[in-house]
Structure 1
Amino acid sequence: MKTTLIYQASLALAIVALAISGLMPIAGQASEPPSHVEVVVLEYHMLEVPPDVDYVDLEPKNLYYQLHFQLQNRETNRVLHNVEINITDISHMPIDPDTGELCPECELWPQPTSFGTNWIYWYAGDLSGSQEFWDWYHIFWKDPRRTYTESLGFSAERTYEPKYIPADKNSIVQVVTLTIKPLDEDKWLHAGVAYEQSLISAKVLDYNYKDKVNVLKPNEIEWIIEPPLTEDVYMFQIQVELARKPGVIGSIRVIPWCRADLRDVRTVDLPSVSNINAILEDGILTIKVSDNPSWHIMYESPSRTVFFESYENVIQEIEASVDIEPDTLNLKSNGKWITSYIELPEGYSVKDIDVSTILLNNTVPALEKPVNIGDYDNDGILDLMIKFDRSMVMKIVKPGQQWITFEVSGMVQGIHFKGFDTIKIISKE
């Protein structure tokens, strides 16, 4: 998914760059299709955050390196012969020092034709001409060992509600907001939201910044804001329908994948030559062909990029912590209530519990009042206090029973929870 999004973002920038340079027809003007070799070189300093993180501030972070190279022959009347791509003078080679082979964690695609101590070589062969922006030769290089401690240059926050498809519903409409506060107004701003989960299908229903949308698919959207960035805050928002796929039962937690980055864009046109060079952060990228085509090159200097990772899982039931008071139930006493304190595991809030769904032993409903949220056991975790009618609870106790285990169950955000506690039974005046 990440590669796809970067790829599509690059295509959009290529389109913009071509239009600006006059190589692409502008609406209302007659123009010949561009005839050149299109080259896009993208370098990224990237931060990936886990699904449970929704905010990234301006403080320095450990970012890693990624390169995405794209090449397309737009000379439709001829084939580009013997295309070779070589990166030389590399200081940070993606090689395992113990084996001398490409390191497993360094994603390098496609596999190089050959490599040495400080160079990597690909032979791409012949490339037919095409005007389609999807016909590219790609090289993708991710190196998590090559890191930088620096700020992204912007803060980013992801919010989304609701977070679950309840067990009793087939679909929901989730609202996702990606808030970006850039520091530099002279950069290109990219933002995107995507869903590629296996348990659900997605359909984008509505979105803002409609004139800035670059990619729009049922499960994906991307915006591009060109400089100058005149707004202090960019709040990108979509509404998307999420539906469970056939055969998937239970509550489904859905966290959307979000991305944002700031980047520079530089373009250059070269006359008919057989090879060109591009200076990378670490190394020199050389493209060589047997022919002498014209070249249009777009280079994006290292952009600062953040990925908010996605997540999905089916939750059949949440295990709650339950404490019943009193610890000893005297059948001869005249109390009015039985009290229960409920705690939920990390990731869930007792504030979201639907009190009307709470039952004791699937029989006795919780009273609507009194209800309170606090920290009864002083463990730093919020608990929900609810009460049950004592006379109804007494009907559950069997004659002569000395101990009883109570089950407290209910719903939180459409997900079923339950917990147990055992108390002593006595019968004294």
Structure 2
Amino acid sequence: MLMTHTISFKGFSVLILLVVIIFNPLMNTAQALETTSSGTIAVNPLKYSVNETSDYVKVNVIRSGGSSGTISVNYTTINGLATQPTDYRPIAGILNWDNGDIDARTITVPIVNDNIIEDPENFYVELYNINGGNLGISRAMVTINSEDVESPNEDKTNYETAEVDFKPNTLNLKSNSGKNSFTAHIKLNSSDIVNSVDISSINLSVNDTIVETQKPIKVYDKNREGLEMKVKFNKQQIINAINNPSENITLTINGSLNNGVEFIGSDTIKVVPEKI
């Protein structure tokens, strides 16, 4: 903005031209954050199921939260109960995003039909070595289902119910601090081996939005009566995912053990809506 001012002294008049720059710190800060955020790379969804007669499975990788600059991340396959090369073909490589690119990438893993009657087996696709951005949920689990002839009465249930208790049991939507965490206490009765939990598989889903875990994740066994876990989740991500707040909401956590057994549990918490 330009301003003029005239000063008179000893019969002379001097016209002074002033240049005034108006600075809006809030606007510039917001623009800077929007411009400089490189984003987060993550697998989404976390779980895939494929028949053993399928040729391949495709794992989706997304970039969210920003698009500034280039990002690259390595990927590889990891054995679970399903092993390479008898159940799937191992692959490894690098995914790249250019500046402004937010398109999803696909990792294609070939599946092998071994013609053996067997229970469902799983393996993992892992992201690692991120460059230029942030790494979110890094591991996807793929379950291969056998289509070979088997007993129709055979029970294929391969999961257990976990006891989940969120503390505190109230979520205040007025909170705007992304640094705060929301803690879940999880108990499994099937195992007392601390290293039997696949920590990277633990996730919380709210309205189809995956909420990130926060380190450290504590796994312990106090009295040999089952495993207990203390897992922290990003509180602000939970708040952002609640589109239509009601008095109560049920939060569900799932994950898996290293032997392929999945666990799932939920807890209902009270929601304190934001005042309008």
TM tier relative to shorter chain: 0.3 to 0.5
| TM-score using structure 1 length | 0.27
The TM-score, its normalising length taken from structure 2, stands at 0.40
Q: Which has the larger radius of gyration?
A: 1
